[in-house]
Structure 1
Amino acid sequence: MSENFLLEEATPGPQWDAFVEASHTGTLFSLSSYLAAIRQPSRLFWCMRGKERRAAVAVMENEDGTAALLHDFVIHNGIIFGPVANKQNRSQVLSEQFEISEAVAAQLSRRYEKVELALAPQFTDIRAFLWHNYGEDGPHYTADVRYTAYADLAGFAEATVPEDIPLFAEISYSRRQEVRKAAKSGVPTVESDDAAALAAFYAMTMGRQGITPEQEKLDELRDLTAALLTSGTGRLFVTSTPAGEPAAMALFGTDSKRAYYLFGAGDPAHRNTPCGTAVLWEGFTALARAGVTTVDLEGVNSPRRGWFKLSFGAEILPYYQLTKDGVDGESRA
């Protein structure tokens, strides 16, 4: 294990958020306001080389702090690399990032009985985790490959018709028909601040699939939505029928790099209308006009959700979930 890097506990706030926003592996899901709205404890660390912050680490914990566990609403976490140091070449950058990963893998393993991390797609080198305790007794990390999809918003801001948008040529035939149908029928899409309505629509959508969400999860979704809207890192859209009945809603979160499609839900009574397509397409347009260039559709890891999201012409990207059971021999820090 590298002895050059040590973890020190960090506190949420402007310094932390600035580091996350500047990092290519930092995402919305590690920002202070986002984590504060999640009903599960989080723990933040600086990864120090001497007095210099070279990386940060964000994890979610169980109630007694003995395990770092994933949370359904925290899609990515783990290591957040700092900026490239002056005059580092590619070889030096990769070497340092490997050494940081090696140190983090070891120190988290000593601290927690169980570790679960969901790395950003931009975190591509997981060798240090896979080689932890390599060829030795002791806990090991295992990797699960997951997938998300990025939609390119080029052309959305300026387009007057869907055909002017490059992505339109990449979406499925049925999705193109829905986009055209929405435009022809004039279903309106506006921004909303009704977090409770999104939670209610989410319950309806899950109910149609035979799933009854726990009230605590619905309350957490509502509170997270409200927190994102208050902090300016969220935008909520609602599409109504021509008769003015709210039919579909979509929540997007934003950071300095992209937007994230966090939740989409609707009234099952209107599921055969183009409203579910329109709320995303018009959301893309509004985001593009605000300067957003890419939307992470946030997971294509089940057949139903994967089919729907990929029908929007998005590009598939893999990312890694890492799991480790058992504590290394040294005492817990």
Structure 2
Amino acid sequence: MNKKDDFRSYCTTQKDIPLFLTPAWMDLICGDNWDVLIEAKGKNIHGFLIFPLNQKLGFKRILQPQLTPYSGVWINYPDGQKDLTKIAFEKKVLSSLIERLPEFDELNINLYPTFTNWLPFYWKEFKQTTRYTYKIFKGQSPEALRLQVKDSVRRELSKAERTLQVYLSVDVKDLFDFKVRSFKEQNLSFNLSYSFIKRCVDWCISEGKGQILYAKDEKGAIHAGVFLVWDKNCVYYLFGAADPEYKNSGALTYLLWNGIEMAQSQTKDFDFEGSMLEPVEQFFRNFGATQLPYHQILKRNSLLLKLKSILGK
């Protein structure tokens, strides 16, 4: 049995490992092009660093995987650790993992919002950028959720609830088409292929880790769709889009609200999966969600890539 097989076996016994750090997710997104470093004492795993392997134009790169908001580090803290001991434990585990990284020209990954201590990366001359996501935490009643949203969201929900119906689907084609059209309206290209998206959606649905929601009107016209995935603790809004013809119907708001209610019913948080785009950030914030920072970690060892970055190319 090789290292990855041992790691897969270990992860099947650890239910708290977030979805995007599991070997099953990396297999889905990266195929064989990923690796993992493990810090352990005997059979007791203290932590691991999981990462993709990219090689393009002769450069060895460790970059954030497609369709994956967070990646990187997971630490298995011993029970009952005090804060001071916890920080020392993090330093020991992370320092060992970072030192054993393979040679690379560039590393650029997003750590989970729950991971807050990036100092061991800083001490190894990595750079950091703070990014933000929005999360609605579990344990809230439907009434409390409604009270905390902005009036604009409340109005859109009321309108959509009167005219639209939400239903489950296993077909991602309409959602993919909406996404492509919405990007085209902004003179942008959606850089994920339909075959890749379909493979990811099909796997998540078959494994009971995701679902597609659509909103349609009484004539059967689909107004919007969202793709949600989840693990033991959280539901993630991975992506969604509205038909440009119905972008003012409130359908996307209604679908996200259904996702939030689903997360609450399953005692899970709901992660909007963040955005640094101002209009999108405001849309998420209007749901009454809590802003959470997370770390983007970067290091370039290639002089050519450093120069290209400085020149903005």
Q: Which TM bucket (shorter chain)?
A: 0.7 to 0.9
| Residues paired across the two proteins, number | 297
In the TM superposition, 1:239-258 aligns within 5 A as 239-258=215-234
CA distance in structure 1 between the partners assigned to 2:86 and 2:179 by the alignment:
43
Residue 197 in 1 paired to residue 171 in 2? Answer: no
Deviation at 1:275, TM superposition (A): 1.2
CA distance change for structure 1 residues 14 and 266 in 2, over 3 Å: closer, same or farther? farther
CA distance in structure 1 between the partners assigned to 2:279 and 2:195 by the alignment:
25
Report the equivalent of 2:19: 28
Report the equivalent of 1:331: none
Residue 237 in 1 paired to residue 232 in 2? Answer: no
Residue from 39, 56, 74 that aligns with 1:47: 39
Residue 73 in 1 paired to residue 67 in 2? Answer: yes
Deviation at 1:283, TM superposition (A): 2.4
CA distance change for structure 1 residues 119 and 203 in 2, over 3 Å: closer, same or farther? same
TM-score, structure 1 normalization: 0.82
SS of aligned partner of 1:235: strand
Deviation at 1:155, TM superposition (A): 4.4
Report the equivalent of 1:137: none
Residue from 299, 311, 318 that aligns with 2:286: 311
SS of aligned partner of 2:188: coil
Letter in 2 for 1:16: C
Letter in 2 for 1:302: L
Residue from 290, 298, 302 that aligns with 2:273: 298
Indicate the larger mover: 261-270 or 46-55. Answer: 46-55
Residue from 99, 104, 109 that aligns with 1:106: 99
CA distance change for structure 1 residues 155 and 131 in 2, over 3 Å: closer, same or farther? closer
Letter in 2 for 1:115: L
Residue 227 in 1 paired to residue 203 in 2? Answer: yes
CA distance in structure 1 between the partners assigned to 2:53 and 2:29 by the alignment:
11
Deviation at 1:287, TM superposition (A): 3.4
Residue from 97, 101, 117 that aligns with 2:109: 117
Residues 106 and 299, structure 2, Cα contact 8 Å, conserved in 1:
yes
Residues 234 and 263, structure 2, Cα contact 8 Å, conserved in 1:
no
Residue from 142, 145, 168 that aligns with 2:127: 142
Letter in 2 for 1:48: A
Residue 178 in 1 paired to residue 173 in 2? Answer: no
Where structure 2 has 5 or more consecutive residues not aligned to the other structure, the ranges are 303-313
SS of aligned partner of 1:219: helix
SS of aligned partner of 2:100: helix
CA distance in structure 2 between the partners assigned to 1:193 and 1:151 by the alignment:
26
CA distance change for structure 1 residues 63 and 251 in 2, over 3 Å: closer, same or farther? same
Residue 270 in 1 paired to residue 246 in 2? Answer: yes
After superposition, give the CA deviation of every residue in 1:132-165 in whole Å (9 maximum; x if it has no partner). 1xxxxxxx20001110010135445xx4xxxx2x
Deviation at 1:72, TM superposition (A): 3.6
SS of aligned partner of 1:111: coil
After superposition, give the CA deviation of every residue in 1:63-95 in whole Å (9 maximum; x if it has no partner). 48933111241211111011415x543322221
Deviation at 1:305, TM superposition (A): 1.5
CA distance in structure 1 between the partners assigned to 2:193 and 2:146 by the alignment:
35
Residues 237 and 279, structure 1, Cα contact 8 Å, conserved in 2:
yes
TM-score, structure 2 normalization: 0.87
CA distance in structure 2 between the partners assigned to 1:246 and 1:42 by the alignment:
37
Where structure 1 has 5 or more consecutive residues not aligned to the other structure, the ranges are 1-7, 133-139, 328-333
Report the equivalent of 1:187: 164
